[in-house]
Amino acid sequence: MPGDVAEIARLIEEPGVSVTCERGCESGLGRIIERARQGDAAAFDDVMIHYQRRVVNTARRMLGNQEDARDAAQEVFLRLFKYLKSYKQGQDFDGWLYRIVINVCRDLARKRPPTAISSCEAERGFRKLDDIAATGDIEDQAIQSQHRSIVAEALATLSTKEREALVLRDLEGFSTEEVAKLLGSSQTTVRSQVCSARRKIKLFKDRLTKQRRG
Amino acid sequence: MDCKYVENKVWLYVEGDLKANKLQALARHIASCGGCARLVQDARDSQEWLRSCEPEHIDDALLDSVREGVRLKIADLERSRFQFVRVFAELNWKPLIIACPVIVLVLLVALHFSLLPKPNPQHQILVVESNRSMPGMVPVETHNQPEDVAAPHRARARHQRHAIKRNQAQPLRLKDERDLVAADQSYKAPLRIEIQTQDPNVRIIWFASPGDGSAPFGPDK
């Protein structure tokens, strides 16, 4: 058990490690998931620890704010606990979990309309961050924070379907085929949604850049 | 291939979302067209800009609060499950086990009575087909016809014999109110059947026990 936890900790520390059984399965995680499926509370905790950042980040990109993302993450893990018994070993766990994430985000978005930041607010945030930005790490952090703020604002301009497709395809790194499976639509539809979303993101970025220059 | 087509497909081209033959065709066009090459470069920059956004560092406290929230909700879930099990276990089953067959029996009886056909409150009128009920009888509406009155005795006797045969073979049948005689079964009184013969002075009256129309008491002149 402590060995497994250490392995999870190692996996979390490793950037860009995918845990999907289909994409290079880590047998350790597979064992932990299986134990969680059989009702081991500690193993379920480990699964939560392993996936929490990705779930919160994805939910944040989908919903646009941290509060909703936290609520969504809680609901995702609660549903995971409820339905883990129906998960079949060998199934793509990442895909299965992401389907839960998407469903939870859709439900939350239906209950609470997204609180999009207006472009003026984004611009104000820009200037404020420009003022705060000093040197070294703080400056990098400020630039990154500003970048995140603009991307969040750009994502908020998309329709729900476009946002889902873009987040999964371009930010979460799923293939078009996987996105189509996750969203329950055809690859053609996903391509069309992603294409339209990319175009809108570029337009938003160009508009904001012009505003800054002006 | 023209520039308009490239403009439509550029967002799929930059991420390799096109089929191999289309990708090659687009690549050939882009290599030979400066405008489309700029378009592709802009699209690539935009995608790079989008991807360069690092995921926000999530505070450990927030992650702890997520896990804590999930644990609490799971504990609530388990508690409610156990509560149900406890209530189930604490139930006094003995009276329920005894009561169940009784309830089922009562329900069956109620169902039986509800399915029984209800008696018609209106008085039933029984109509007897007179020419088949007894030998030598004719319907009321024909007794005044001259040809019937003048019928020869032999023919009448034959008719009587046939009528007797028919009467033995077939029970009394109800057909028409005109020939008839009414009986009121709802009062459980004896069934009274009156038949007018050809002779206007002779009328046959039968009494039968209620509900037993096939066994009249016999002719009573």
Q: Is B69 on the interface with A (CB under 8 A)?
A: yes
A50 has pLDDT over 50: yes
Distance CA B10, CA B1 (A): 13
pTM for this entry: 0.58
Which is it for the CA torsion A198, A204, A209, A210, positive or negative? positive
The residue assigned the tokens 């009888």 is B137
What is the token pair recorded at B55?
A: 């995921």
Is the pLDDT higher at A59 or at A21?
A59
Neighbouring C-beta atoms of residue B134, cutoff 10 Å: 20
How far is residue A95 CA from its own chain's centroid? 13
Stretch A103-132: mean pLDDT: 60
Per-residue DSSP letters for A15-64? Answer: TT----STTT--HHHHHHHHHHHTT-HHHHHHHHHHHHHHHHHHHHHHHS
Eight-class DSSP state of A70: H
Query: In chain B, which stretches have pLDDT less than 50?
Result: 123-136, 138-148, 150, 177-185, 213, 215-221
Give residue B153's pLDDT. 65
CA A79 – CA B148 distance, rounded (Å):
96
Query: Which ranges constitute the DSSP H helices of chain A?
Result: 2-13, 27-37, 41-63, 66-83, 93-111, 119-132, 136-156, 160-166, 176-183, 187-213
Question: What does the pLDDT read at residue B80?
Answer: 78
Does any CB of chain A come closer than 8 Å to the CB of residue B50?
A: yes
DSSP letters, B90-107, are HS-HHHHHHHHHHHHHHH
The band of A121, judged by pLDDT with boundaries at 50, 70 and 90, is very low
Residue range A129-158: mean pLDDT, rounded? 73
User: What is the interface pTM, i.e. ipTM, of the complex?
Assistant: 0.71
The residue whose two tokens read 């402590």 is A2
Distance CA B160, CA B154 (A): 10
Residue B34 to residues A202, B4, B28, B31: CA-CA distances in angstroms? 20, 14, 12, 8
Question: How much is the average pLDDT of A114-120?
Answer: 47
Give the residue from A66, A78, A141, A177 with the most B CB atoms within 10 Å of its CB, the best one to mutate. A78
Are the beta carbons of A57 and B55 separated by less than 8 Å?
A: yes
Domains and CATH numbers, chain A: 1-119 (1.10.1740.10)
Out of A9-13, A149-153, B92-96, B142-146, the most confident range is A149-153
| CB-CB under 8 Å, A60 with B11 | no
The residue of chain B with its CA nearest to that of A145 is B56
Question: How confident is the model at residue A177, as a pLDDT?
Answer: 92
Provide the pLDDT for residue B2: 82
Predicted pLDDT at B77 = 83
Q: Return d(Cα A123, Cα A211) in angstroms, integer.
A: 8
- Residue with more model confidence, B159 or A53: A53
Which residue type occupies A97?
L
**pLDDT exceeds cutoff 80 at A6:** no
Q: How far is A90 from chain B (nearest CA, A)?
A: 26
The mean of the pLDDT values for chain A is: 78
> What digits encode the pLDDT tens for the residues A162-189?
999 999 999 888 999 999 999 999 999 9
Q: Output B165 or A200, whichever has higher pLDDT.
A: A200
- Collect all residues from A whose CB is shorter than 8 A from any CB in B: 45, 48-49, 52-53, 56-57, 60, 66, 70, 73-74, 77-78, 81-82, 144-145, 147-148, 151, 154, 169-171, 176, 191, 194-195, 198-199, 201-202, 205
Average pLDDT over residues A57-63: 89
Question: Which one-letter DSSP state was computed for residue B177?
Answer: G
* pLDDT average, residue stretch A88-107: 89
3-state secondary structure of A126: helix
Contacts of B59 in chain A (CB under 8 A): none
Residue type, A1: M
Which three-class secondary structure state does DSSP give residue A88? coil
Q: Identify the residue among A8, A12, A40, A52 best suited for mutation to test binding to B, counting B beta carbons within 10 A and taking the highest.
A: A52
* pLDDT of amino acid A51: 92
CA distance A184 to A186: 7
What pLDDT is stored for residue A48 in this prediction?
92
Residue A94's closest CA among A42, A51, A128? A51
Q: Which of A191, A197, A151 is nearest to B13 (CA)?
A: A191
